[in-house]
Structure formats: C-alpha cells, structure tokens
C-alpha cells in the first residue's frame, strides 16, 4: 500500500499517534521516526489499575491487548511507509524546484545568448548567420557563439590590413580597427569642409561668371546684329563682284580659246623645229664620229709631233722644237725614234719636257731603248699630245691591275692629258674598267658608255691604257 504524499515536518503524525493510540512514549529523530513501546510498563499499569478478574477475563484482556498491539504495529508500519513516501515526495519536490530554477536560469541565459548574438551578428557581418548556430546536442551554446564570433572577428581583423594602407598591420581589437576609418573620416570631414568652402567660392565665381555671360550675351546680340547687317552688305557687294568676275571669266575664256588656237599653231611649229633639230643632231653626231675616226686614224699613223734639236748624252739634256705656241706643257712625255731604211722607225727611248720656251723647249732623257743615242733630227711622238689640242680621258669603273684609277688619272694629267668627269663630245678616250660592286649596274648600260658609242669616242680597255702610261 502506497500512502499519499504529506507535506510538513511530521508533527501531525506524532500527534496522531499520541492521541489516537495513547502511546506513553513517542520520539522522533532527524533520520526518521523512532517509535518505541514499553510493554512491561503498560502491562504493569494494567495490573495495578485493573481489578481482579477471572482467568477467562484475563485471557480476554491479553488477547485484546495483543490485538491492540498488532493494530498498533500495523499502524506503525503503515505510518512508517507513509512517512517514507512523504519524505521521498518532499525530496522530489525540492529536486523539481531546483531543476525548475536551473531550467529557468538556463532559459534566461539562452535567451541572453540569443539576444546578444542577434544584436552582435549584424554588426560583425562577414557572412555571420543571423541566428545562433546550435542544435539540441549543443552542451555549451555560449561557448559555441563566442567561438564563432571570435573566429569571424579574428578574420575581419586580419583582413583590415589588406583593405587599408598597411597590409602587414593587424589591429588588436575592433576598437583599434575602427581607429583607422575614424581617423580617415575625421580627415575626410576636414576635406569636406574645405571642399564646401571651395564650393562656396566657386559658386560665387560662377554667379559672377553668369553675370558676365549675361553681359556678354547682350554685347553678343548687339555684335550679331551688326555682323548680320555687315554680312548682308558684304553679300550684296560680293554678288556684284561675282557678276563682274563672270563677265571677266567669259572674256578670259575667249582669250583662252584664242590662246589654245595659237598654242596649237606654236606646237606644230615646235614639232617642225624639233624634227629639224633632230635631223641636225644626227648630222652633228655623224660629223663627230667622222672627226673622232679621223683622230683615231691620225693617232694610228703615228705622225711625228716634232724633232730633237740637240742632245747631250752626258747630262741627259735634250732640246726640242715644240714650244709654248704648240700648247706644250711641262711633264709631257715623248717617244724618240729615227727613220731608218725603208721608213723603218727605230725606237731610241723617251724624254720628258722640263721647261717650255717660246723658241724651243728643254727635256730630259728618261729611258733608253738601247738602239743608239739620241741626237739632232730624231722624231718626237706622243699619243696624247696634239699641237694646240689636248687629249681628254674619261674613266668608267675601277681599273684592275698595277695602276688604280686615281694613279692612272694623275699620271695622264702629268703627261699633259685632260681628265673628264663624264663623256662629252670633247672626250678623246673612254677607259672601260670593272664594276665597283657586284650588284651595281653593268658599265655598258651607263649613259657615258652609250654617249661614247653615239659620239664615236674611242673606247679603251684597262689593258689598252698601258702604252699611254709608259710614254
């Protein structure tokens, strides 16, 4: 049997036992109720107070007493059970109250965490969830919230340096991290104040400029009216001038037509004159070729240019009859020969003019041919000397072999010849060398070569120049 829970300190049950059962001694201890019955005292009390009776009556009284004792024992057992249940119920009630208080405190703490997180999360930002990230298995939501906030704040602090001027810096806290933008905002406020002042100044200047523009607009309108009037006047004047120009143009066109007619006539006359000049040019070219041919024939016949007047083999001095009247130049070299039997020419050597006189000229012996000594009456000959005429050489290309073009030109000039830069009608010889560059134009395609062919200039190869250099 389970007794209903009873609240209180047990005094009611003690009163129940003391009054209902008339127990002589009832005690209580902290650990529970301890009920003791003094049976001997009770029995003595019964013998002293009860009158004498019969044995049967005594037996009935003993039975009644036993029954009473049994009832008391049963009552005590049920009372103990009831008290035990009551004590257990009181303990459960206290535990329930403690649990309720703890639950209430935990609920209040959880609500604080929730409200705190909901307030902090928007401020932290950076993808922080708007609600507490925990489930039913979370044992310490506060630590979880703090850990998440600390982690995100740490990430934010580490990223502050990358977003400002010092990437290596890491603020120690959010307050320190805010110092940079706060300082920047203060500076920007100062700049904004300066900008506001600048705006006021610019606005004032703008208003002044608007006033000036308005004044200029009025002046522009007046100027526009004046220019419009002047423009109309100019248009009228230009129209008159255009009409005059048109009349002049018609007159000019008439003159042009007349000029074209005259030009056509002049062109026909020019063509006729051109044809005549071309014919004359062909005749002149033919004449030049003929003259050049005669010169070549003359040089080929080796006509003597002069004679030796006297010769001194000891001093090597020779006097000749060619003088300054014959356009003789110092340095001219002559070949000396005498005419033998049958007109044979006997070569004796070479002389070079050292002094030119009006009656005779002086020369020195340069080379002896071993065919006798030079003497009076010997003949003089030079292929590049003509009385009152100078032989002209022109070169095309570089000369191979012993003498270069520069050396050959200097030797010919020293011998009395003239060196020309290009071929013309006065050129006597054109010396044809070799191309200076393998990629250069062929010498035979040059203008000098073509003119030499046209005017009958004698063309010499480089090896043909040697006799002139040895004269």
Q: Say if domain 391-471 classifies as CATH 3.30.70.360.
A: no
Distance, CA of 285 to CA of 151 (rounded, Å): 111
Query: Are domains 303-387 and 391-471 of this chain identical in fold?
Result: no
- pTM confidence score: 0.32
Cα-based distances in Å from 335 to 164, 229, 308, 407? 105, 99, 11, 21
Distance, CA of 250 to CA of 200 (rounded, Å): 69
Distance, CA of 426 to CA of 370 (rounded, Å): 38
Task: Tell me the per-residue pLDDT of 134-188, one tens digit each, with 9 for 90 and over.
Answer: 555 666 666 666 676 677 777 766 666 555 555 566 666 666 666 766 777 788 8
Which distant-in-sequence residues (6+ apart) come within 8 Å of 466 by Cβ?
none
Task: Tell me the per-residue pLDDT of 230-278, one tens digit each, with 9 for 90 and over.
Answer: 888 889 888 989 998 989 988 999 889 888 888 888 888 888 888 878 8
Q: How sure is the predictor about 29, in pLDDT bands with cuts at 50, 70 and 90?
A: very low
Structure tokens at 452: 């030499």
Please list the residues that pair with 418 across neighbouring strands: 392
Is the pLDDT at 11 greater than 80? The verdict is no
Backbone φ and ψ for 138, nearest 5 degrees, come out as -70, 125
pLDDT at residue 129, as a whole number: 67
Q: How sure is the predictor about 332, in pLDDT bands with cuts at 50, 70 and 90?
A: confident
Q: How sure is the predictor about 37, in pLDDT bands with cuts at 50, 70 and 90?
A: very low
Please list the residues that pair with 26 across neighbouring strands: 35
pLDDT at residue 138, as a whole number: 63
Pick the CATH number of 303-387 from 3.90.930.12, 3.40.50.620, 2.40.10.410, 3.30.1330.10: 2.40.10.410
Of residues 118 and 229, the one with the higher pLDDT is: 229
Structure tokens at 410: 């200097």
pLDDT at residue 300, as a whole number: 53
Contact predicate 376/310, CB 8 Å: yes
Burial of 337 (0-12, 13-18, 19+ CB in 10 A): buried
Distance, CA of 170 to CA of 363 (rounded, Å): 110
β-strands 345-355, 418-420: how paired? Answer: unpaired
pLDDT at residue 292, as a whole number: 65
pLDDT at residue 436, as a whole number: 84
Distance, CA of 469 to CA of 427 (rounded, Å): 18
Please list the residues that pair with 339 across neighbouring strands: 345
Residue 371 per-residue DSSP state: S
Distance, CA of 470 to CA of 458 (rounded, Å): 19
Q: Taking CA 387 as the corner, what is the angle to CA 383 and CA 390, rounded to the nearest 5 degrees?
A: 60
The percent of residues above 70 in pLDDT, for the chain, comes to 71
- What percent of the chain is helix, strand and coil (3-state, nearest 5)? 60, 15, 25
Domain spans, the chain: 11-103, 171-301, 303-387, 391-471
Which of the given ranges, 93-107, 124-138, 174-188, 223-237, has the highest pLDDT on average? 223-237
Q: Taking CA 417 as the corner, what is the angle to CA 379 and CA 321, rounded to the nearest 5 degrees?
A: 30
Strands (E), 253-391: 306-312, 317-320, 333-339, 345-355, 361-368, 379-381, 385-386, 389-390
Distance, CA of 380 to CA of 389 (rounded, Å): 16
Burial of 403 (0-12, 13-18, 19+ CB in 10 A): middle
Cα-based distances in Å from 70 to 74, 84, 139, 342? 6, 21, 56, 206
Q: Residue 52: helix, strand or coil by DSSP?
A: coil
Task: Return the closest-CA partner of residue 364 out of 408, 321, 309, 311.
Answer: 311
- In terms of DSSP H, where are the helices of 164-173? none
Which of the given ranges, 46-50, 91-95, 115-119, has the highest pLDDT on average? 91-95
The torsion of the CA quartet 63, 68, 74, 75, rounded to 10 degrees, works out to: 170
Structure tokens at 216: 């200029």
Q: Residue 35: helix, strand or coil by DSSP?
A: strand
Task: Tell me the per-residue pLDDT of 340-363, one tens digit each, with 9 for 90 and over.
Answer: 776 788 889 999 999 988 899 999
Is the pLDDT at 396 greater than 90? The verdict is yes
Distance, CA of 220 to CA of 214 (rounded, Å): 9
Is the pLDDT at 324 greater than 90? The verdict is no
pLDDT at residue 195, as a whole number: 87
Is the pLDDT at 320 greater than 80? The verdict is yes
């Amino acid at each position: 049997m389970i007794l209903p829970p009873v609240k209180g300190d047990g005094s009611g049950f003690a009163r129940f036992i003391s009054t209902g059962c008339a127990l002589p001694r009832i005690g209580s201890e902290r650990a529970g109720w301890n009920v003791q019955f003094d049976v001997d005292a009770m029995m003595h009390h019964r013998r002293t107070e009860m009158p004498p009776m019969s044995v049967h009556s005594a037996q009935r009284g003993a039975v009644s007493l036993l029954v009473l004792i049994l009832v008391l024992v049963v009552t005590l057992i049920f009372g103990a059970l009831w008290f035990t249940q009551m004590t257990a119920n009181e303990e459960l009630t206290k535990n329930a109250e403690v649990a309720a208080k703890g639950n209430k405190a935990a609920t209040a703490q959880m609500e604080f965490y929730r409200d705190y997180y909901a307030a902090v999360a928007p401020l932290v930002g950076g993808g922080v969830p708007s609600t507490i990230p925990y489930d039913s298995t979370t044992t310490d939501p506060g630590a979880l919230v703090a850990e998440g906030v600390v982690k995100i704040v740490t990430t934010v602090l580490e990223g502050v340096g990358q977003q400002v001027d010092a990437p290596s810096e890491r603020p120690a806290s959010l307050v320190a991290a805010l110092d940079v933008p706060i300082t920047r905002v203060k500076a920007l406020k100062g700049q904004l104040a300066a900008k506001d002042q600048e705006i006021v100044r610019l606005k004032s200047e703008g208003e002044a400029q608007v006033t000036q523009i308005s004044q200029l607009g009025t002046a522009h309108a007046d100027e526009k009216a004046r220019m419009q009037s002047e423009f109309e006047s100019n248009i009228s004047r230009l129209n008159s001038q255009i009409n005059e120009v048109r009349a002049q143009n018609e007159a000019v066109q008439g003159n042009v037509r007349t000029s074209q007619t005259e030009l056509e006539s002049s062109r026909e006359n020019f063509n006729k004159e051109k044809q005549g000049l071309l014919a004359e040019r062909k005749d002149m070219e033919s004449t030049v070729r003929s003259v050049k041919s005669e010169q070549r024939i003359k040089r080929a016949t080796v006509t003597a240019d002069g004679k030796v007047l006297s010769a001194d083999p000891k001093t090597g001095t020779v006097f000749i009859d060619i003088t300054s009247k014959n356009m003789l130049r110092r340095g001219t070299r002559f070949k000396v020969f005498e005419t033998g039997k049958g007109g044979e020419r006997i070569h004796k050597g070479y002389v070079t003019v050292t002094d030119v006189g009006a009656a005779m000229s002086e020369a020195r012996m340069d080379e002896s041919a071993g065919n006798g000594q030079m003497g009076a009456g010997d003949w003089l000959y030079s292929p590049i000397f003509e009385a009152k005429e100078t032989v002209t050489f022109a070169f095309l290309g570089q000369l191979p072999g012993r003498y270069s073009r520069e050396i050959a030109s200097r030797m010919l000039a020293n011998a009395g010849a003239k060196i020309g830069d290009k071929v013309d009608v006065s050129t006597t010889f054109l010396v044809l060398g070799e191309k200076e560059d393998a990629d250069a134009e062929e010498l035979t395609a040059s203008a000098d070569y073509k003119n030499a062919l046209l005017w009958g200039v004698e063309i010499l190869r480089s090896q043909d120049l040697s006799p002139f250099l040895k004269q």
